[in-house]
Amino acid sequence: MALWQPPRVPFVFLRHGETDWNRDGRLQGRRDLPLNRVGRAQASRASLLLRDFQFCAVFHSPLGRAEETARLAAGARAVPFHSVAALAECSFGELEGQVAGQVWPGWRSAWMAGQSLPGAETYADFLSRAESALGAVLRQSSGASAPPLIVAHGGVYWALQRALDTGFDGDLPNCVPVLHRPLGRSGWNVTALGL
């Protein structure tokens, strides 16, 4: 059972579209890289997958790749857009720009266990920030007639899934919308759209 429970509000999470560093398997963190051609096409495809959804608002990370994805995925909807600083990707410090598969083995597990990475955000701080961001977005969306669309990063989603205790394990592909609906008193029904 999860120790942390956000407001019981349905929401759709969308990881930003592909960048050149995603394509190359590099850790991006806070580096503000734009979408590439594939990423823009992915965001347009996400718009089609979401065409039957109404959203109360779009909340996105302040990083350009997330904001561009949000604009493309939301299409012509006349909804408010909110940039949320706490939805930014984790800062991986000196690891940013390195190919993930070439970073020392076990770095992610060690980081999650509390080991510091040079110049990086701690796992505990990152998890707390991601939880706080989701809680704030869902509180702001409580009582709305439609769910919010949250556009952020793979790391943010990875942290949220652990916090929500949905059983998710692995990396969310770029631009796959994921619908989250409260299930019972504490669980969540999680449905990836278009997979």
Q: Which residue has the tokens 């278009």?
A: 194
Nearby residues of 135 by Cβ (< 8 Å), 6 or more positions away = 6, 7
Give phi and psi for 119, each to the nearest 5. 75, 5
Catalytic site includes residue 89? yes
CA 195 to CA 24: how far, in whole Å? 22
Catalytic position from the list 16, 60, 153, 180: 16
The catalytic position among 18, 68, 89, 121 is 89
Query: Catalytic residue positions?
Result: 16, 89
